[in-house]
Structure 1
Amino acid sequence: MKAGLGSLPQDLRGYISLHVVMLRGRSRMFLLDNGRLRNAFPVAIGMPGWETPTGRFEVLQKTPIRCGCIP
């Protein structure tokens, strides 16, 4: 899991908060907590004509899911 952290831009590792970063080229999503890698997951990305958008986004609503994926 630590190997994935090296592929994240330094500015994203410096955030003092809980945030999610997706690397489309690697089809991976990272959960960072105060710059520390908390978890990493494989993700599906868009297809031609339905590309996954790039940019910075804010979570406006959360739905609690009890999956046991975050300790």
Structure 2
Amino acid sequence: MGNFMRTLALPKEVEHWSLTTLREKLVKIGAKVVRHGRYVTFQLAEVAMPRSLFQKILALIDDLRRRPVTA
């Protein structure tokens, strides 16, 4: 399952990471979730993962959601 998700939701530059590395870089980060109005923001140290890479991963995950069909 992890390898399947890796192919769907990871940019090319991190496809070669092991599942352990992914868990340590994405799940075990000390991120702070800040909610303000309609927005949710993750505040994390850029040392853990570059902002651009994190944005790419979130965009790929967002693309996995079904879009409503307009008639």
Shared fold per TM-score greater than 0.5 = no
Structure 2 length normalisation: TM-score? Answer: 0.29
Bigger relative contact order (CA 8 A; separation at least 6)? 2
Structure with more of its chain in strand, by fraction? 1
Bigger Rg, which one: 2
